[in-house]
Chain A
Amino acid sequence: MNDERIEQLLRKAPRSPAPAGLLEKLRTDIALPRRVETRPMNATEAVPFFRRWFPAISFSVIFLACILAIAVQTNQIAELKHENATLQTSAQNLEQLRRDNAEYQRLKAAHEELERLRRDFAELQQLRTEVAQLQTQAQEMEKLRAESQQLLAASRQQRQSSADADFFSRNDDALAKARAKAESLACVNNLKQIGLAARIYANDQGDVFPASFVAMSNVLSTPKLLICPGDKARAAAHNWQEFGPANVSYEFLNPGGSETNPYVLLTRCPVHGNVGLSDGSVWQGVGLGRSFTIAVKDGKQIFTPLNPPANASPFE
């Protein structure tokens, strides 16, 4: 028997009749829900507007809320990115400003140092000018002396008077004083140039002075500056190759010392008593118009002026 035949027979299954009285019982048991007003067949027309469109409206509201939230968050993200970029730019500018400030400070210090060196150089030039004037005066005085001697000799020969002899004796004293002053000023000039050379050396070597005069050969123009004009017992070397201990008049008091203490003695002239300090200034010795004391502390000779003039240069 095939499936079609089986299906055909199954569809012919007999139906058992319902027992009598069942229909009446079922009809009696009908319990319909409370009567409601009959709705039209097209139910969508009777449904209230809001209820009919509630799903679409709710979906639209949720969708718009999501769009709004996404837009707000996107805007916030964009603002944060902008702020981040601004901060990064500011940080870069700050670093650049720091570098510029450090460079400015370095240049400022160099400028100040240069200004100081210029002032020292101007003072040195002034000293040179004064020395030149004094040398000129000394030469004139030599000439006057020679003329005086000639006149004196002539006068002695002619007059043989004692009054004339006293006159020329006074002229000799004035000439000696002028020469001594010129030599002292030349000595001050030498110490000034030595001090300047020592400071140039210290600037290049980490604020440390040279160990000796020989070490300054690169910064000191000539070894002739190491001979005091008043020191007749020593002769200047013509160049640094010939330079020796006999070719220097000055004492080097702070070899290898620090440049930081300006009152430490750097050089001293044993002839005139002039002293050069670590800051490059030069003070004339006792007996030439200025006085000072020197105290020894930690192996260094410390300079202390006594009643210095308020508006005078140290080397005056």
Chain B
Amino acid sequence: MSDHAETLCHKAKAGDISAASELVGLFYQRIFAYFRRLCGNDDDAADLTQKTFFKVWTSLASYQRRSSFSTWLHGIAHHVYVDWRRTNRAADSQSDEWWEARAAEGPSPFEDAAERDMAHRLFALVDRLEDRAKEAVHLHYYQGLSLHETAEALGIATSTVKYRLREALDFLRTHTTEAKLRPA
């Protein structure tokens, strides 16, 4: 997919509309899902997705292929989200019902109800992480970027990404253990 995306990007830089359209088809759902988890509503996520691709087209000439197109795209999305958060408001917190609704829309990735409940608690805890750790978790775990790609998208060192992920995992492990010990 990466090579295909690079080829499409090269054609889009040359002015190929069909290639650009195919690039949108490849990545828009991932970008929308990224914004949807962060913003908490569809409208803002769709709006930010549009802004992201608009910036992609205006900045396409400056794309130097130092990183993969996916990483470059997520970097733009990250900056769009940061700008939006500064100028608008804090993101809506995700509710457990929302996560349950997401899981019910398609085939469940979880093996059983217990795993699903645990996953829902984890996702809710991720929303409580501080922004820096949360952005790293979203890009690395939710969006599936590697550590290096996450670091490039966030514009920080890979070691910093590792440190933030370690912080996030410590937080999640601690709070999931407390939740287990707490009586129902």
Chain A residues within an 8 Å CB radius of B36: 16
The closest CB in chain A to the CB of B125 belongs to A6
Q: Is the CB of B14 within 8 A of A36?
A: yes
| A3 in contact (CB, < 8 A) | yes
Q: Is the CB of B176 within 8 A of A26?
A: no
Interface string of B34-62 (1 = CB under 8 A from A): 00110000100110011001100110110
Classify the interface of chain A: helix, strand, loop or mixed: loop
Chain B residues within an 8 Å CB radius of A23: 24-25, 28
Chain B residues within an 8 Å CB radius of A34: 15
Q: Interface on A for B, CB 8 Å cutoff?
A: 1-3, 6-7, 9-19, 22-23, 25-27, 29-39, 41
CB distance from A134 to the nearest CB of B (A): 130
| B154 in contact (CB, < 8 A) | no
Question: Which residues in chain B, 95-133, are within 8 Å of chain A measured between CB atoms?
Answer: 99, 102-103, 105-106, 109-110, 115, 118-119, 122-123, 126
The closest CB in chain B to the CB of A7 belongs to B141
Q: Is the CB of A30 within 8 A of B24?
A: yes
| B76 in contact (CB, < 8 A) | no
The tally of CB-CB contacts under 8 A between chains A and B is 119
Q: In the bound complex, how far is the Cα of B109 from the Cα of A36, in angstroms?
A: 45
15 extra interchain contacts, Cβ-Cβ under 8 A, other than A6-B122, A18-B46, A38-B10? A9-B122, A10-B123, A13-B141, A15-B29, A15-B30, A18-B32, A23-B25, A29-B54, A30-B20, A31-B57, A32-B16, A32-B20, A32-B60, A36-B15, A37-B14
Chain B residues within an 8 Å CB radius of A39: 14
Q: Is the CB of B24 within 8 A of A10?
A: no
Interface string of B131-172 (1 = CB under 8 A from A): 000000100011010000000000000000000000001001
Chain A residues within an 8 Å CB radius of B73: none
| B77 in contact (CB, < 8 A) | no
Whether A29 touches B50, Cβ cut-off 8 Å, given contacts A13-B37, A13-B141, is yes
Whether A32 touches B172, Cβ cut-off 8 Å, given contacts A10-B122, A12-B109, is no
